[in-house]
Structure 1
Amino acid sequence: MFVEETIEATEAAQIPKQRGESLLETAVRYAEERHWDVFPGTWLEAVDGVQRCSCGDAACDAPGAHPARADWGTQATGSATVARRMWSKQPLSSILLPTGRTFDAISVAETAGFLALARMERMELTLGPVTLTPNRRMHFFVLPGASVKVPDLVRKLGWTPSSLDLIALGEGSYVAAPPTRFGSRGAVQWACRPTPANRWLPDAEELISPLAYACGRDR
């Protein structure tokens, strides 16, 4: 089955390979190989035997996986040299990718995401990378501009945007990249890994129908 095969292959097929590689090396590879902007976020620290976010908020809703500073947008870089320097200062920093630059992301609930993936395979659609987060969200990477187009695309399909758990992330937003960890909930994984074949991303219009259908089923 498509979904099962995807998850079983995730750990072994991540780009870059994460076993034995540091967050620094991974961030540098994203910049070098995919030309993605990257920036370091918060990290996890052990406090009385409990993993806490470096931001110091005990109630942090994304411990170890959010921006560490307000000006993160200007900090993000596509330079492997600069990325290496930033992670050298704090090797445990999460890897965050700003949207609205080389890609936007369409965020849906995990259950809807798996349903959409299976439907997309049957439709033989070309996918970009897709992440799976420990807080049960999936992010489909698409061409920039999706955040502007998605609401109208959803309306054309007969839905009101507010009725679906479907969020387009564009300028001013970000996604956490594998192998960033979310507190004690685990690490971000690739549901569909980056490959040379999906370097060219799909347009949001190509994926919106199966995504909206899946979100409608998952309500």
Structure 2
Amino acid sequence: MGAAHDRRPGRLTQWWRRATGQPPGSEPPAEDRTALLLAVAQAGLPLAPAAHPVGHRCSCARVGCPTPGRHPVSFAWQTQSTHDRAQIERWATAEPEANFITATGMVHDVLDVPYGTGERVLARLAESGDGTEVGPVAVSDDGRMLFFTATRGTPEDEDEYWPCELDSHPESVDEHPGLRWHCRGSYVLVPPARLPGEGLGVTWLRGPEHPLVDPLPLLAALTDAEAVAAGTPGEEQGW
């Protein structure tokens, strides 16, 4: 699958998991799971129910599902998405095994990068203190790190927004192993979520209590890190 799908967590991720006492992909108790989802909703991020893994298969009825456990249950997920506390509690109670997605491009976007890129950026920013802000960050055990940012979309003006199709579509992300910008028309799994495979999941590295940040400075740092990893120009930036 290549380096972009390397599932080995780096030192930063291992430290965080030791500090929180939560192993990768572990399933929190039902009350903790609901509390984590409600914390996301309280931060203003819209949620909708998603499928969940059944072994290496998907809970949906689709034969050969290309994204098992990673997609919304309803085709109307964009209009269904909400941060209403009562609705999310009803969903979580009715479907205790369901994952949840958060629809991007309404309140927030997500910069989705390989593990190594994300860890290099976090380590560099921690050392340099250059002022680049980092908001919520999630770690996915399929080898990705998700940086949650303020959206660049303009939902109040439907004729002017940055559509996800300019980058990648939710069901074609494997065709984009580098940096993906999830914006209007896309979604990502929100922690706590389970992935197909033993003990794999999506967990918070920095939780939703951290405010959303401008994506552009962070995008520049991530792009430079991707360029260095690929051995292309950008190393002069001090990576």
TM-score interval w.r.t. the shorter chain? 0.7 to 0.9
> Residues of 2 paired with 1:174 and 1:80: CA distance?
20
1:7 Cα deviation from its structure 2 partner: 3.3
Which amino acid in structure 1 is aligned with residue 219 of structure 2?
I
Aligned to 1:154: none
1:152 — aligned with what? none
CA contact (8 A) 1:64 1:94 kept: yes
Letter of the aligned partner of 1:41 in structure 2? A
Measured after TM superposition, the shift of residue 13 of structure 1 is 7.8
Judge conservation of contact 2:114–2:145 (CA < 8 Å) in 1: yes
Q: Give the TM-score of the pair, scaled to structure 2.
A: 0.71
Counterpart in 1 of 2:29? 20
8 Å Cα contact 1:164-1:212 kept in structure 2: no
1:215 aligned to 218, 226, 229, which one? 226
1:108 and 2:113 correspond = yes
Q: Which amino acid aligns with 1:113?
A: G
Unaligned runs of 5+ in 2: 1-9, 154-160, 164-175, 231-239
- In terms of mean alpha carbon deviation, does 19-28 or 133-142 score higher? 19-28
Alignment of 1:175-194 (within 5 A): 175-184=188-197, 186-194=200-208
Which whole-Å deviations, capped at 9, do the CAs of 1:128-180 have from their partners, x for residues lacking one? Answer: 0111112211111111007849xxxxxxxxxxxxx992221111111111120
Structure 1 residue 51: Cα displacement: 4.3
Residue of structure 1 equivalent to 2:95: 90
Question: Partners in 1 of 2:225 and 2:71 — Cα distance?
Answer: 28
Q: Is the 8 A contact 1:10 1:192 kept in 2?
A: no
User: Is the contact between residue 48 and residue 80 of structure 2 (CA under 8 Å) also seen in structure 1?
Assistant: yes
Q: Distance in 2 between matches of 1:4 and 1:193?
A: 19
Residue correspondence of structure 1 range 147-166 to structure 2 within 5 A = 148=162, 165-166=178-179
Q: Secondary structure at the match of 2:201?
A: coil
Equivalences for residues 6-155 of structure 1 within 5 A: 6-10=13-17, 12=20, 19-22=28-31, 23-32=33-42, 34-45=43-54, 50-57=55-62, 59-124=64-129, 125-145=132-152, 148=162
How far apart in 1 are the matches of 2:12 and 2:113? 20
Distance of aligned partners of 1:165 and 1:131 in 2 relative to their CA distance in 1, 3 Å threshold: same
Question: Quick one: distance in 2 between partners of 1:172 and 1:91?
Answer: 26
Once the two structures are TM-superposed, the CA of residue 218 in structure 1 deviates from its matched residue by 2.0
How many residues were matched structurally? Answer: 193
- Does structure 1 retain, via aligned residues, the 8 Å contact 2:152–2:183? yes
Q: Aligned to 2:226, what secondary structure does the other structure show?
A: helix
2:172 is matched with which residue?
A: none
Runs of 5+ consecutive residues of structure 1 not aligned to the other structure? 150-162
**Distance of 2:220 and 2:36 partners within structure 1:** 33
Partner of 2:120: helix, strand, or coil?
Answer: helix
Letter in 2 for 1:119: R
TM-score calculated relative to the size of structure 1? 0.77
C-alpha RMSD of the superposition: 2.7
- Percent identity, aligned pairs only, is 26
Task: Say if 1:119 and 1:210, in contact at 8 Å, map to a contact too.
Answer: no
Cα distance in structure 2, aligned partners of 1:69 and 1:148: 23
Which residue of 1 is the match for residue 186 of structure 2?
173
